[in-house]
Each structure stands twice: as structure tokens, then as C-alpha cells.
Structure 1
């Protein structure tokens, strides 16, 4: 049975800073498990929205009980590949992002859908509101094992969410400290449009 995790939270930064930080968020001290990030494709559609696909390779640590079960089936998971698809709309100040693992999907299929929206508060302060939904589906082993894996994935995501937020905050604070964030943003977007493939 599929398990879900849903949350809504906000980032205390304007949308342009957030948009730049989103593509520059790796590496950061809160995401040491990320090994590499490669851009697979990037284009601007007829509506002026930037579409990007990136491959993120991550290192993960499974619980002991899970490692033992997988080892009995001659399965060793030390790294996982995640496909990240984003659409950024500057006019609407919105980012739509979907990330999903593309290996070991029978053991656990994790799909995260998120929308990041730039808004202005009643105090005339610019922030970004994030709405996230994640699904966890295992098709490995018997029913109780599938459920145990899904529950572990659901719990682990919740535990890691704060680190993810701190990582984004770290990158945005660095951009703010450097100043000239609009210039940086425009430069990064221009580089993105001129280069189809690059590696962080």
C-alpha cells in the first residue's frame, strides 16, 4: 500500500534568490550524501518557462534489517540515481519540481512533487511557500515487508526534511551575503540557456 508524506512550509527569501539557490543547492554542508549532479537537458518553451532535467547521484544508508534482507537476495545498494525535472516560470514566480529514483524501483519507488511559489506577505515581505507531496511504494517481498519499507521511507524523509531546508537556507544566505543577487540570477539563467550539459 502506498504511503504519503505531505507538508507545507516557507523560505524567508525572495523568489529570485530561491530560484538561483535551487539550482546551486549542491554541494552544501547539509547534503554531504550527494555525490554528483548532471544536467541532462534544458530548454525554454513557447511561454518562456525554463525546463530542466538533472540526474542526481546520492549515497544512502539503509537500516541494518533492510541491508540484511537485501543481502540475502544478493542486492547491495550504496548509491541511488534520482531524476529531477523542474519547470520555472518567472512570470508566475513559480517552480514545479518532480524528483524520482530511477534505480531499485521495485525495492522502493519514491516520487516527490513540489511547488515553490513566490508570494508577498501582508507586511510586504517576499517569501517562497513550498508545498510538497511524496509517495513511497515498495514491491519487494511479502506484504508486511513492503509496508515496513514504505513506513521507513516515509519516516526517513520526514527526518531529512529539516536538513534539506537548512541546506537551501545556507545557499540562499551565501547568495545574500555576496550581494548583487539579481545580477547573479540573470547571469546564471543566461549560462543555463547557453549550455545544455554541465556538471556541478
Structure 2
């Protein structure tokens, strides 16, 4: 069983401004759970699309009831792959994200499309979808419910962070470095980045998309 989430919203800014803010939205005061971000692959294709792959490190705090059941190291860090496609012809930005570790506990896959609105001038429409699953026997349902609630909360923070980047432009707030994670996760993240860099991003979505 998989939990599915979908919503649509509009950003009252031109598409090119939203795309610019997307690349510089970290750090921001609404996404303190994002520890690091690294570009591991980037390419401009023959048909002028920009393909990018980034590796993000985020905190992964478990709910209190789960901390009593699962090992404490699970609450440390989670590594997220973000593939993105910028298409200037269709004026769209499509992102695919999924977690690399803790996938048995909970796997979260997301697709998000930022597209120039055909109905409202200087407006960008955003469609966000997510698929949340867990392979923990006997706990999959409460874990998925928790994952869905957390995703909704983080999605709200993500939009606020994007709005923060839009308002602040290239100001000082957007230039502060991200916090460093603990040494062990950082080493693992670097190893993952080397592997990911050898595989180009794809426009094909993940298994639930």
C-alpha cells in the first residue's frame, strides 16, 4: 500500500523568476532541516533542456513512538536525490526526488512541475505529487501516516522558503552557507555523489509516477 498526495497552487511571480529562485532557495529560515546541497551532474541537451542532479542531506527525525522501537542512528540524516529538467520551450521546470537511505523504513518519491500559467499573466502554476511507502511489517501504516503528515509540513516550509528566495533575490540571506552535517553522514554523502555523478538524470519518473 502506498500513500498518495497531490496538490496544486499558484505563485504570483513570473516563471523565470521562480526558476531562478529555485536554484538559490537554500539556505532559508524555513528549511533548517536541509544540511547540505551539492550539484553532482549538469548538462544542456541538444534540444536546450537543462538537466541537473543534486544530492541533498537532511535531518530525519523519527516520531517519539518510533524512537523507542527503531535504532537511534535512524534519526540522524537522510540523503535525497533531486533530478530536474528545465525546458525553456515549454517554460516548465520538472523535479523528481527520492531518498537513497532508510528506504525500508520509509520511501518518499515526489514529482513537482513548475509551469508558466496559461490563464494568469506573471503567474507560475505548481503541481506537486508524492508517493509514500514503508516496508516495515506491522508498522507500515502508522509510518506512512507520519510520512504523509511530515511531507505536508515540509511542503509548506518548502513553499515559504521559495517565497523567501523570491523576496530576497541574491541578498545576504541567500548567501549564508548551509550547516555541516556530522562527519560520518558527510562521508557517505560524498560516496553517493560519486556514484550519482556517473549516471545522467532522466526525464523518466520513478516507479509510482
Q: TM-score normalized by structure 2? A: 0.78
TM-superposed deviation, 1:45 = 1.0
Is residue 2:155 matched to residue 1:161?
yes
Higher-Rg member (1/2): 1
TM-superposed deviation, 1:114 = 0.9
Helix, strand or coil: the match of 1:170?
helix
Is residue 2:140 matched to residue 1:146?
yes
Deviates more, 1:158-167 or 1:4-13: 158-167
Give the equivalent residue in structure 2 for 1:42.
Answer: 42
In structure 1, what is the Cα distance between the partners aligned to 2:163 and 2:65?
Answer: 34
Give the equivalent residue in structure 2 for 1:19.
Answer: 19
User: Following TM superposition, where does structure 1 have runs of at least 4 consecutive aligned residues deviating by more than 4 angstroms?
Assistant: none
| The one of 74, 90, 93 aligned to 2:91 | 93
Would you say the 8 A contact 2:7–2:128 is kept in 1?
yes
Give the equivalent residue in structure 2 for 1:28.
Answer: 28
TM-superposed deviation, 1:85 = 0.1
Number of residue-to-residue matches in the alignment? 173
Structure 1: tracts of 5 or more residues without a match: 179-195
Helix, strand or coil: the match of 1:27?
coil
Give the equivalent residue in structure 1 for 2:132.
Answer: 136
Would you say the 8 A contact 1:97–1:114 is kept in 2?
yes
Q: Structure 1 residues 68 and 177, CA, compared in 2 at 3 Å: closer, same or farther?
A: closer
- CA offsets per residue over residues 23-45 of structure 1, 9 Å max, x none? 11110110011110000100011
Would you say the 8 A contact 2:104–2:136 is kept in 1?
yes
Q: TM-score normalized by structure 1? A: 0.81
Would you say the 8 A contact 2:74–2:102 is kept in 1?
no
TM-superposed deviation, 1:160 = 2.4
- CA offsets per residue over residues 8-59 of structure 1, 9 Å max, x none? 0111111111111111111011001111000010001111000000000001
